[in-house]
Structure 1
C-alpha cells in the first residue's frame, strides 16, 4: 500500500502510529532473540531483510497510496516466527521509507497493513494446520506457504482498501472496482513465489525454517 504523507486526516495517522508502536514494542520485548545469537541464523535474518527491501522497491501504482508489490511476509513468518518476522519487516519498511517510497506519517498504517496483518494471517494458518492437520510435507508447503501467502496478500489488500474507504481518501466504488480486484492477481504471484521459496528451503536448508521440523514432517511411517 505504501501510504504517502497527507493522504489521510491527521488523526488517522496518529492512530496508526500508536497501534503499530504497541505491537512492535510487544514483538521486541517478547521476540526469541536467542535464535539470532549465532552468526548463521543472524545472517539469514539480515539477508532476508535485504532481499525484501529489494522486493518492496519493485512496485507499481495508479494513485498515491494505491500501490502493489509482493510482500514476502508469509515466508518471513515461516522462517523466523511472527515476532522476528514483524521486527524484520519493520526494518524493511524503515529502509523503504528512508528511500522516499513511503511517507513517515503513514509508517504506522503501512506497518500494520503490510506487516502485522499479513504476519498474523500467515501465523494463524500455520497454527491451525499444525494442530488440526496431519504432519505432512505437502500440507506444510501447500497450505502454509501457497495458501498462506495468497491469503496474507488478500488480507493486506482488503485492510488497505477498508482504511482508505473509512478515512475518506477515495470513494468506495473506485476502490472496490479499480483497486481491490487486482489483489487477486498479485495474491497468486505471492502464493507462487512464497511456495517456491519455502519448498527450496524445506528441501535444501530446513534449518532456515523455524516452523519446520524435518524429523517430524519427513519421518517414515
Structure 2
C-alpha cells in the first residue's frame, strides 16, 4: 500500500526522499556479503523481490491511489533481516514503479513507507522480544511471525493512509477503508505465520533472523 500514481509536490517529494535515501545508503553499507553467499539465499532474495511487485499488483482499488493488497514486507524483513530487506524492498518499489507506470517523484515516499518504516519496526520488535521474552522457538513464531507481522503490516497501511490524508486532504478516505485494511492485515498475519513456521523447519537458511543457537540449543 504505497502512493504510486498521485504526484507529490516537489517539496514533499524531496522531504520524503531525503530520509529514505539516507536509510537506504545506511542499509547498503551495512549489508553483509556473507549472508547472500549462503546456499539458495541469494536466489530466494531475488525471487522475493519479483514476487513483491507481483503481489502489490493484485489489489482492490479503494480510491485512484489507494489500493488494498497483501503487503509482504514483514515476511521479507523476517527472512532477510533489516538491511537486506530495505535494499530488496526498495528494488521492488523501483520495479513496480517502472513496470506499472508509477510516478517517479513518489519513489522516495514509497521506499520510506514500504521499506524503511516496516523494516525498522520489524527489527525493533525482534530485538525487544529477544530482550524481554524467553528465547524459545514458539516465541519467535508467534511473537514475530504472527503478532509482529500484524503490527508491521498495520503500520504500513496506517502510515500510508495518514500520509495520503495529509498530502491530499481533498480526497476523502472512505469510512470503512481502515477496517478492511485491518481485516486484510489479520489474514496476512496468519499466512505469514504459516510460512515462517514452514521455513523455520524446512528452509531455516531463508530465515536470517532465526538463530538456532538462540531458539533451539539447550531447549
CA contact (8 A) 1:2 1:102 kept: no
- Please state how far the C-alpha of 1:5 moved relative to its aligned partner: 4.4
- Say how many residue pairs are matched: 219
CA displacement, residues 135-177 of structure 1 (integer Å, 9 cap, x when unaligned)? 1111101110111111111111221122122223445xx4372
| Distance in 2 separating the partners of 1:187 and 1:193 | 10
- Name the structure 2 match of 1:146: 146
Q: Taking structure 2 as the reference length, what is the TM-score of the superposition?
A: 0.91
- Please state how far the C-alpha of 1:102 moved relative to its aligned partner: 2.9
Give the unaligned 5+ runs of structure 1. Answer: none
- Please state how far the C-alpha of 1:200 moved relative to its aligned partner: 0.4
Moved over 6 A (4+): none
The 5 Å alignment of 1:123-202 reads 123-170=123-170, 174-175=172-173, 177-202=175-200
- Please state how far the C-alpha of 1:6 moved relative to its aligned partner: 4.4
| Distance in 1 separating the partners of 2:160 and 2:202 | 36
- Please state how far the C-alpha of 1:219 moved relative to its aligned partner: 3.4
Mean Cα deviation higher: 81-90 or 160-169: 160-169
Mean Cα deviation higher: 100-109 or 185-194: 100-109
The question of 1:118 aligning with 2:118 is answered yes
**CA RMSD, Structure 1 to Structure 2 (Å):** 1.9
- Name the structure 2 match of 1:46: 46
- Please state how far the C-alpha of 1:44 moved relative to its aligned partner: 1.7
- Name the structure 2 match of 1:62: 62
CA contact (8 A) 2:6 2:65 kept: no
